[in-house]
Amino acid sequence: MSDWLEVGVIVAPQGLKGELRVNASSDFPERFEQPGKRWLQSPDGDRVKEVELLGGRYVPGKNLYVVRLAEIKDINEAEELRGYKLLVRSCDRPQLAEDEYHVSDLIDLEVYHQFTKEKLGVISDVLWAGNDLLEVKLDKQPQEENSQDIIHESDKSQKKPKKQKPTTVLIPFVKEIVPVVDLEQRRIEITPPAGLLEINSSEERNRQ
C-alpha cells in the first residue's frame, strides 16, 4: 500500500442513479470534486481497480462527499461498492504548509511526555470535533478493580472476567499541547494540561 493514499471510504449509495456517499479522510476537497482518475480498494484489501471520478459535492456538517463514478450507473452497482476505499497515488500528495501533516503520516507515531520523557502510547487515529484530535492508545492500561463475589453451590453459571478494551485518550492537536512532531523519528512530544490524560481515560473506562 505504499503506492497509495486512502482519501475516503464508501459508506452507502446516494439516491437511485449510482451516486456514492464517501466518508472523507482527506482535508482536500479536490480529491472528491475534481474529475480524473481514482482507484478503489476492496474491503478485504486484495484488489485495487482504476475508476473515473466525474465529480462530487460536499455534504455540510457530516464529513461526507457525494461522488459520481463513470462506471456506476444505478443503486445496485453503487451498493456493491459499500466498504470500498477511495485511493489516490501516493506521489499525488498536495504540498503542505508548515505545521500541516497528512493523517497517514501521524498514525502509529509514538507519543512522549515532553517533560518526563515517559512514553505514553501511540497515535491510533485522528478525529475531527471542531478541531483535530489525536486519539492515543495508552501503553499503561488501567487494571479492573478486584471484587468479591459469593458463588452459591446452586449457581451453575459463574461470571467471567470482563475483557477490557484498550484505553485511549484524545489530545487536541494544537501547538501548545503538541509542540514537537518528528516524522523522521516517528514520534511526537506533548505537554498535556493537568488532568487531561486522567479525565480522558476515566471517560473511556466509563463507556466500556
Question: What DSSP designation does 34 have?
Answer: S
Instruction: Classify residue 61: in a domain, yes or no.
Output: yes
Place of cell 471517560: 203
- 87-124: pLDDT as tens digits: 999 887 777 778 888 887 899 999 999 999 999 999 99
Question: What DSSP designation does 92 have?
Answer: G
Same domain, 114 and 201: yes
pLDDT on residue 205: 46
The CATH code of the domain that includes 79 is 2.40.30.60
Same domain, 55 and 15: yes
Same domain, 32 and 67: yes
Q: How many domains does the chain divide into?
A: 2
Same domain, 80 and 35: yes
Alpha helices in the chain (DSSP H): 30-33, 75-79, 103-106, 196-207
Same domain, 108 and 181: yes
Its domain, for residue 46, covers: 4-91
